[in-house]
Amino acid sequence: MTAYIIRRLLLIIPTLFGIMVVNFAIIQFAPGGPVEQVIAQVTGTAVSSTARVSGAGGSETGGGQGARDSGGGGGGNDSRYRGAQGLDPAFIAQIEKQFGFDKPAHERFLLMMGNFLTFDFGESYFRDQRVIDLVLEKMPVSISLGVWSTFLIYLISIPLGISKAVRDGSPFDLWTSAVVILGYAVPSFLFAVLLVVVFAGGSFLDWFPLRGLVSDDWDSLPLGQQILDYLWHLVLPITALTIGGFAGLTMLTKNSFLEEINKQYVVTARAKGLTERRVLYGHVFRNAMLIVIAGFPGAFISVLFTGALLIEVIFSLDGLGLLGFESAIRRDYPVMFATLYFFTLLGLIVNLISDLSYTIIDPRIDFERREV
């Protein structure tokens, strides 16, 4: 097992490098890079006043910069930057230097990866903050949404899936299947909108807050009230995420149990006179839950970093999903590439943990003895 873990850890290095190369190359052709964003501010053609030259901070860890910018350096009276006609070439060169685009693309990439190896993610172009500080600032929201929603999804889906498998074809199975189909069909953000309309001061009730993770006076509250206030703010977003995410896991649990229940060893266990409960939880459970429980780390990461953007927007929660979206819109490359690097690395490690979970749940599994 040690050799297998070492091989998987070593495989992370080229995989991570390849992902970063591909994304860096694609960004080179994306229009509206940070230099063009600043030019748009200067010429008054920007959609929003979010970019500030002073926010560049001299960071040189970003990626590419626009559709017609594959090199770096140079003047602004050519058509390399949209909207740069008539601007002083020295001014354009100054902006390029502030963003680190006075260097060729390959040099910028190698410099960025060298900094990332030491977890030096640089500074945001437009927020006047270090990237690591931004991520840590947004992390509580995303962790809260990820931990609680994943916990509730598993808490609901596993017992429900087992009950559906045991009562397959019964009225209980049929009406719960209707609920599951509804969960499949309606995305979580639509449930979120419905919850806002009904329970958050929309058209009916005003029971829950609609903004932030805690109240403004949270710091002045006693510990017990702080916990209640925190949970009170999470009720609606967690409910929306749970309703939108339990359907798939419920059906996976049901199908896993149905597959195991029909196997020969279950028939043999019943023939020996074992009770149905002993057969179900003493023999079937471990085999059926192997794929379900082993997928927990991946499910948590998915909810934590990819599944909550619209929920954050609807409930005015400033988390990592919103940070990533805004960074892509603003072309804030240090934030984009740093979060891509960190979350990809975390995802690769979680995949390894998921594989190792199989051996923890069922010690009979040994990756070292697999035939190639």
Instruction: Tell me: do 225 and 257 sit in the same domain.
Output: yes
Instruction: Tell me: do 178 and 113 sit in the same domain.
Output: no
pLDDT band at 217 (very low <50, low <70, confident <90, very high): confident
Query: Where among 125, 156, 184 does a domain terminate?
Result: 125
If you average pLDDT over every residue of the chain, what do you get?
78
Q: Which pLDDT tens digit goes with each residue over 305-345? A: 655 778 888 888 888 888 888 888 888 888 889 888 888 88
Instruction: Tell me: do 301 and 191 sit in the same domain.
Output: yes
pLDDT band at 63 (very low <50, low <70, confident <90, very high): very low
Higher-pLDDT residue of 255, 370: 255
> Distance between CA 141 and CA 303 in Å, rounded?
12
Domain of 18?
2-125
Higher-pLDDT residue of 270, 100: 270
> Per-residue pLDDT for 349 more than 50?
yes
> Per-residue pLDDT for 149 more than 70?
yes
Whole-number pLDDT of residue 368: 64
> Per-residue pLDDT for 10 more than 50?
yes
Query: Where among 104, 125, 146 does a domain terminate?
Result: 125
Q: What is the DSSP string of 194-244?
A: HHHHHHBSSSS-B-S--SSSS-TTGGGS-HHHHHHHHHHHHHHHHHHHHHH
Whole-number pLDDT of residue 305: 61
Q: What is the CATH number of the domain that holds 170?
A: 1.10.3720.10
Q: Is residue 346 part of a domain?
A: no
Instruction: Tell me: do 26 and 137 sit in the same domain.
Output: no
Instruction: Tell me: do 100 and 139 sit in the same domain.
Output: no
Q: Is residue 369 part of a domain?
A: no
| Total domains, the chain | 2
Q: What is the DSSP string of 314-326?
A: HTT---HHHHHHH
Instruction: Tell me: do 227 and 103 sit in the same domain.
Output: no
Instruction: Tell me: do 290 and 150 sit in the same domain.
Output: yes
Instruction: Tell me: do 112 and 154 sit in the same domain.
Output: no
> Per-residue pLDDT for 282 more than 80?
no
> Distance between CA 68 and CA 86 in Å, rounded?
17
Instruction: Tell me: do 317 and 176 sit in the same domain.
Output: yes
pLDDT band at 18 (very low <50, low <70, confident <90, very high): very high
Q: Is residue 58 part of a domain?
A: yes
Q: Is residue 146 part of a domain?
A: yes
Instruction: Tell me: do 173 and 273 sit in the same domain.
Output: yes
Please report, rounded to a whole number, the percentage of residues in the chain having pLDDT higher than 90: 6
Whole-number pLDDT of residue 330: 81
Instruction: Tell me: do 154 and 245 sit in the same domain.
Output: yes
Q: Is residue 69 part of a domain?
A: yes
Query: Where among 101, 125, 149 does a domain terminate?
Result: 125
Q: Is residue 343 part of a domain?
A: no
Q: Is residue 357 part of a domain?
A: no
pLDDT band at 369 (very low <50, low <70, confident <90, very high): low
Instruction: Tell me: do 247 and 320 sit in the same domain.
Output: yes
Q: Is residue 118 part of a domain?
A: yes
pLDDT band at 69 (very low <50, low <70, confident <90, very high): very low
pLDDT band at 21 (very low <50, low <70, confident <90, very high): very high
pLDDT band at 22 (very low <50, low <70, confident <90, very high): very high
Nearest Cα residue to 344 out of 327, 329, 324, 326: 324
> Distance between CA 94 and CA 90 in Å, rounded?
6
- The DSSP output letter for 151 is H
- Only one residue has tokens 């934030």, namely 335
